[in-house]
Structure 1
Amino acid sequence: MKYDVIVIGAGTSGMMAAVSAAEHGAKTLLLEKNKRLGKKLLLTGGGRCNVTNNRSKEEVIAHIPGNGKFLFSAFSQFDNHQIMAFFEEHGVHLKEEDHGRMFPVSNRSKSVVNCLSEQLEQLHVTIKTEASVKNILAENNQITGVELSSGETYQTACLIVATGGKTYQHTGSTGDGYRFAKKLGHTVTPLFATEAPLVSNEPFIRDKQLQGLSMQDVSLSILGPKEKPIVTHQMDLLFTHFGLSGPAALRCSMFVNKLLESASEVTAILDVFPEKDAPTLTRELELVKKEGANKSVKNALKFLLPERYLLFLLEKATIDENKPYKQMEPKELEKFVTLLKNFPIKINGTWPIEKSFVTGGGISLKEITPKTLESKVVAGLFFTGEVLDINGYTGGYNITAAFVTGYVAGKHAAQIAAYTNYD
Structure 2
Amino acid sequence: MIVIGGGPAGLMAAIGAARNGAQVTLLEKGNRLGRKLLISGGGRCNVTNARGTDHIIENIPGNGRFLHSVFNQWSNEDIIAFFTELGVPLKEEDRGRMFPVTNKASTVLDALLQELAKQKVNIVLEAIVQRVLYSEADRQFTVQMKSGGAFIAHAVVIAVGGCSVPETGSTGDGYTFAQHFSHTIVDPYPTSVALVSHDPVIQGKDLQGLAIREAVLRLHDPRGKIIATEEGDVLFTHFGISGPAALRVSQYAVKSWMKHRKQPLLLTIDSDSHRSAQSLIDQIVAIGHAAPKKSLRTILKDVTATSLANYVIDRLQLPADQVMAEVNKQHLVDFVAYLKAFPVHVSDTLGLTRATVTGGGVTVKEIDPRTMESRLQSGLFFAGEVMDVHAHTGGYNITVAFSTGYVAGLHAASQVYMK
Match of residue 56, structure 2, among 54, 60, 69: 60
Unaligned runs of 5+ in 1: none
Indicate the larger mover: 270-279 or 178-187.
Answer: 270-279
1:347 Cα shift?
0.2
For residues 25-74 of structure 1, give each alpha carbon's deviation from its aligned partner in whole angstroms, at most 9, with x where no partner exists.
11211111112211221221222211111111211222222211211110
The residue aligned with 2:185 is 188
Q: Is the 8 A contact 2:372 2:407 kept in 1?
A: yes
Note the 1:235-246 alignment, pairs <5 A.
Answer: 235-246=232-243
AA matched with 1:51: V
Q: Return the letter of the residue paired with 1:224.
A: D
Aligned residue number for residue 23 of structure 1: 19
Show the 5 A alignment for 1:244-255. 244-255=241-252
Partners of 1:279 and 1:125 lie apart in 2 by 62
- Is residue 2:147 matched to residue 1:150? yes
1:88 Cα shift? 1.1
Q: How far 1:383 moved relative to its partner?
A: 0.8
Preserved CA contact (<8 Å) 1:102 1:396: yes
Q: State how 1:118-137 maps to structure 2 within 5 Å.
A: 118-137=114-133
Q: CA RMSD in A?
A: 1.7
If the length of structure 2 is used for normalisation, what is the TM-score?
A: 0.95
The equivalent residue for 1:106 is 102
User: CA separation in 2, counterparts of 1:135 and 1:229?
Assistant: 44
What displacement does 1:215 show?
A: 1.1
Q: CA deviation digits over 1:335-376, x for unaligned, max 9?
A: 222212222110011111111111111111111111101111
* 8 Å contact from structure 1 (residues 143, 379) kept in 2: no
Aligned length: 416
Q: Residues 51-90 of structure 1 correspond to what in structure 2 (within 5 A)?
A: 51-90=47-86
Structure-2 change in CA distance of 1:73 and 1:225 (3 Å):
farther
Percent identity of the aligned residues?
A: 42
State yes or no: 1:316 paired with 2:312. Answer: no
Give the Å deviation of 1:140.
5.1
1:397 Cα deviation (Å)? 1.0
Residue 331 of structure 1: CA displacement? 3.5
1:138 is aligned to 2:134: yes
State the Cα deviation string for residues 57-95 of structure 1 (Å, max 9, x = none). Answer: 211222222211211110000011111111111122222
Q: Distance in 1 between matches of 2:65 and 2:326?
A: 55
User: Match for 1:58: what amino acid?
Assistant: D
Residue in 1 that maps onto 2:88:
92
Is 1:363 aligned to 2:359, yes or no?
no
CA distance in 1: counterparts of 2:358 and 2:99, whole angstroms: 23
Any stretches of 5+ residues in structure 2 without a counterpart?
Answer: none
Bigger mean CA offset, 115-124 vs 13-22: 115-124
Equivalent residue, structure 1, for 2:170? 173
Pair 1:277 & 2:273 matched: no
Give, as a single letter, the amino acid of the residue that structure 2 aligns with 1:335.
D
User: Per-residue CA shift, 1:194-228, capped at 9, x if unaligned?
Assistant: 11111100011111010111111211111124412
User: What is the deviation of 1:265?
Assistant: 1.4
**TM-score, normalised via structure 1 length:** 0.94
Which of 42, 48, 52 in structure 2 is aligned with 1:46? 42
Q: Is 1:399 matched with 2:398?
A: yes
Letter in 2 for 1:405: T
What are the superposed Cα offsets for residues 263-317 of structure 1, whole Å, 9 maximum, x if unpaired? Answer: 2211100112223333443344344443333221011222210111011111111
